[in-house]
Amino acid sequence: MNKIGFFLSGIFSILGIWLYVMTRFINLILPKIGYAAFQVAKKGSYSSANYVINFSMINKIAAGITIIGIILSLIFYIAELKEA
């Protein structure tokens, strides 16, 4: 089996999953940080919608990276089964 390719495709999958988790984390935490900053400044009006970021394209890229990594892992695994 091409162990380097298999390993790198696994890293690719993990990178996609990590990217998705980080965008979810940012979308959950950023409104809370914005609210804390608003409480300190006491200026204007607070709306959590002002602190929500649209990560739809990044999430699509993360899903694509994850799927490509899984497909490549399967290709390397099946190639090894055929060689054995």
Tell me the per-residue pLDDT of 69-80, one tens digit each, with 9 for 90 and over. 999 999 999 998
Indicate yes or no: pTM above 0.75: yes
> In sequence order, which residues have a C-beta less than 8 Å from that of residue 73 and are 6 or more positions away?
6, 9, 10, 13
User: Is it the case that residue 25 has pLDDT exceeding 90?
Assistant: yes
Domains of the chain: total: 1
Domain limits at 32? 3-83
User: Is it the case that residue 19 has pLDDT exceeding 90?
Assistant: yes
Half-sphere exposure of 83 (CA within 13 A, CB side): 8
Contact assessment for residue 1 and residue 83, using Cβ atoms and an 8 Å cutoff:
yes
